[in-house]
Structure 1
Amino acid sequence: MPPSDELPGSAAHVLELVASGSATSRADLVRELGLAASTVSTRVQELVDAGLLTESGEGASRGGRRPRLLRVVAQGAVALAADLGSHHIRTGAVGLTGAPFDIDEYTFDLTAGPEPALDVLAERLTALAERQHAAGRTVRGVGVGFPGPVDTDGGRIIAPSRMPGWHLYELRDRLADRLGLPVLLDNDANVLALGEQRAAHPTLRHLVVVKAGRGIGSGVISGGRLYRGAGGSAGDISHVRVDAAAERPCSCGNIGCLETVASGAAIAAALRGRGIAADSTTDILRLVENGEPHATTLVRQAGRDIGAVLAVVVNFFNPEAVILGGALSGAEPLVAAVRGVLYERCLPMATRELTIDAATCGPDAGLLGAGHAALREPAPADGLRSRAAGRT
């Protein structure tokens, strides 16, 4: 499924404008989009026919006939969402408004390969769809965030680090075949960025949202929409070379990458090298909270290294906010170190009104972003819709 949520004037963009309150009528949409009234009417009708918008009542007149008001249908339509981590699968349902619900998390090792992961993911999403159907809700599609590079146009995984067997795996189409539902596949940092922007920063148009967990990634929101770049790799800061990593080999095949010193996996490995038990980001956070000096030092240094990379990003992109998400964002020394480096190294004009803070949506942000991205897609074709109805 193509990422039509990024196209100005698409049905997805129209839905976003109405959902955010930026437009309440067809006339508002014409002014916002700068498109012909006939084009806007076609997009609106697509969304009305899909059950995503309603048009009724009358708004205030600006000199002519009073416009009919557009509203997002808040009840009935949901998307299923899955946020995959290297060692877990988190699922939930997302409506057009509100937070994710019916959330479940399952421990699973994605390095076991794509076919076992597909089996587990399809099983859990099928059960989730059945529960939504039993509650009288219509499942419109599925959004999936994957912890690695994703070709969103082709629906494939591209050369993920430490995940043998996943390269070029057509996860989107295989999952769609299993579920009988349209599937949107994207990188986990991108769906995190979408979720944080929608839930916590809806008025901001330019953000960098970092996901610092077992690995490191970031999503970029530009002009209020997710920016993926020409080939889908925009925001991949994990393989930027940093001085602190020196000649350390990285799983990507290069040396000196940020991930080799600032990721949760790298910090845990460094702690184990000192004889300190740490197998996960949860262990790292516990050690920092307990004041363990080596853990605190490593986390603070990770923040400095991440900040050094982000300083270039902030000077170049000039965002309104840098939001730190992922499990490691719960460590205050990391957040403080990133903030300190950005203020030290960035141009005063770039940081004068810059917000630098930890994410507020917690582990639900990825589900929210994936679900809303799937909901903003056009309705499936009739054949696929009938298959979905039969399976849910």
Structure 2
Amino acid sequence: MVTSEPDRWDGGLPGQPGILELLASGRVSSRTDIARELGLAASTVSLRVQELIDAGLVVESGSGRSTGGRRPKVLRIDPDAGHVLAADLGGHHVRFARLDLLGNLQAVEEIAIDVADGPEVVLDQMSAQLTAMHEAAGGVLRGVAACLPGPVDAAAGCVDSPSRMPGWHRFPVRERLAERFGVPCVVDNDANLMALAEHRNLPGARHSLLVKAGAAIGCGLIIGGDIYRGGTGAAGDITHVRVAAAGDRACSCGNVGCLETIASGSALVRSLRENGHDVATTTDVVRAAMDGEPLATTTVRRAGRSLGETLSPVVNFVNPDAVFLAGLLSTVEPFVAAVRSQLYEGCHPLATRDLQIVQAGTGADAGVIGAGRLILTQVLAGTDTSVPVTSESLS
């Protein structure tokens, strides 16, 4: 069945991908492919494709294989037709990236910052750095994304009830960035975006989860290829699950006995210091464990076991294709081995039969890669037709 009119500027219909999304995914490479995939008339597709070519977003690059008639012109997104910017905010640093329209990293920078300075100060610093990164490249800015280290209401574009971000509760982060740059903007939780980055690097995966084990613990869920946030954006927040081993230890969330109090990097620092070890950061703990210091190794292994026990019911319930382990603690083999062994011990055999339990491969760039891919999904879907920002318009 061929429909007469598309609903979106790039040719997509409600609930369907648009032309740019299809080209980016590799599912189509010609006008004929697009017409078949979207169920549109060839004349409609030709008109929309020409608009994208005229806008500088799509280029023709050679001819494809003939199926009986003329050889079709191969279409592809022009990676030089603009870029998006991403920022991954941590407690004491921000990592910035510029990505082309295919999601490839073009530039990465990092600066020191203190999230406790509050959103006004931090966002001004972030905006200045993002502007400089855009102006260094020139061209057209298509979108901006921010990766935030707390519970995020993605629909509202703000952090909701963070335990370590004073002054950030319900501050309109996305609105502030959109006002500054005048392009589509998205914000999301760091673990969600890291999960998105890792998931899309695993061919064939449908569902996955990522655990970020650093100074704190975060978890992101990918269901059917998309971030699953739950009703209020709290999906995957295993850090505040009560565990018996934590007893009545006070947690930053205001409750007691949370996983964070015994399995996070901050908890390990506290535990080792109480036992006379001169450690100040999670990095110090990791270094000691890698050097084979007995108590540090035992403490890290115990944390991995607690994390694995908490993850087991999640894996049984979600039945993911993969579990990615990220963050500083995931670089310590005893920690990874403990998580893995607890999952195999605590889950149903069917849940672990084909399960991949692996260390995250995108490293320090996971947050900005995931953020870039999220904003590209919106940009390529054509859901916002705001005037793109050029270097001149920001000056």
TM-score by length of structure 2 reads: 0.86
Match of 2:270 in 1: 269
Q: Structure 1: which amino acid aligns with 2:356? A: T
Distance 1:261 1:28, change over 3 A: farther
Instruction: Measure, in 1, the Cα distance between the counterparts of 2:48 and 2:299.
Output: 51
Q: Structure 2: which amino acid aligns with 1:242? A: V
Match of 1:37 in 2: 40
Give the deviation of 1:381 after TM superposition.
Answer: 5.8
Larger radius of gyration between Structure 1 and Structure 2: 2
> Aligned to 2:187, what secondary structure does the other structure show?
strand
1:3-42 to 2 correspondence within 5 Å?
8-11=15-18, 15-25=20-30, 28=33, 36-37=39-40, 41=45
Match of 1:353 in 2: 354
Asked whether 1:77 is paired with 2:79, we answer no
**Larger CA deviation: 14-23 vs 209-218:** 14-23
Give the deviation of 1:29 after TM superposition.
Answer: 5.4
Q: Structure 2: which amino acid aligns with 1:18? A: L
Instruction: Measure, in 2, the Cα distance between the counterparts of 1:350 and 1:30.
Output: 40
Match of 2:394 in 1: 391
Match of 1:187 in 2: 189
Q: Give CA deviations for 1:129-185 in whole Å, capped at 9, x if unaligned.
A: 11121xxx4221111100001111111110111222111111111122233443211
Q: Structure 2: which amino acid aligns with 1:293? A: P
Q: Give CA deviations for 1:260-310 in whole Å, capped at 9, x if unaligned.
A: 111111111222222322222221211111112222112111111111121
Give the deviation of 1:315 after TM superposition.
Answer: 0.8
Match of 1:281 in 2: 282
Asked whether 1:154 is paired with 2:137, we answer no
Identical-pair percentage:
50
1:1-392 to 2 correspondence within 5 Å?
8-11=15-18, 15-25=20-30, 28=33, 36-37=39-40, 41=45, 51-54=56-59, 58-60=63-65, 68-97=73-102, 99-133=104-138, 137-198=139-200, 200-378=201-379, 384-385=387-388, 390-391=393-394
Show structure 1 runs of 5+ residues with no match. 1-6
Q: Structure 2: which amino acid aligns with 1:152? A: A
Q: Structure 2: which amino acid aligns with 1:146? A: L
TM-score by length of structure 1 reads: 0.87
**Larger CA deviation: 333-342 vs 283-292:** 283-292
Q: Give CA deviations for 1:356-377 in whole Å, capped at 9, x if unaligned.
A: 0101111011111111222222
Q: Structure 1: which amino acid aligns with 2:117? A: A
Contact 1:158 1:168 in 2 (8 A): yes
Q: Structure 2: which amino acid aligns with 1:156? A: C
CA RMSD of aligned residues (A): 2.8
Distance 1:19 1:81, change over 3 A: same
Q: Give CA deviations for 1:8-50 in whole Å, capped at 9, x if unaligned.
A: 5244xx6454333233345555766xx5426995987886666
Q: Structure 2: which amino acid aligns with 1:92? A: A
Contact 1:146 1:185 in 2 (8 A): yes
Match of 1:4 in 2: none
Instruction: Measure, in 2, the Cα distance between the counterparts of 1:45 and 1:225.
Output: 30
> Aligned to 1:204, what secondary structure does the other structure show?
coil
Q: Give CA deviations for 1:185-214 in whole Å, capped at 9, x if unaligned.
A: 11001111122223x314322111111111
Number of residue pairs matched? 378
Contact 2:103 2:376 in 1 (8 A): no
Instruction: Measure, in 2, the Cα distance between the counterparts of 1:30 and 1:258.
Output: 51
Instruction: Measure, in 2, the Cα distance between the counterparts of 1:369 and 1:115.
Output: 24
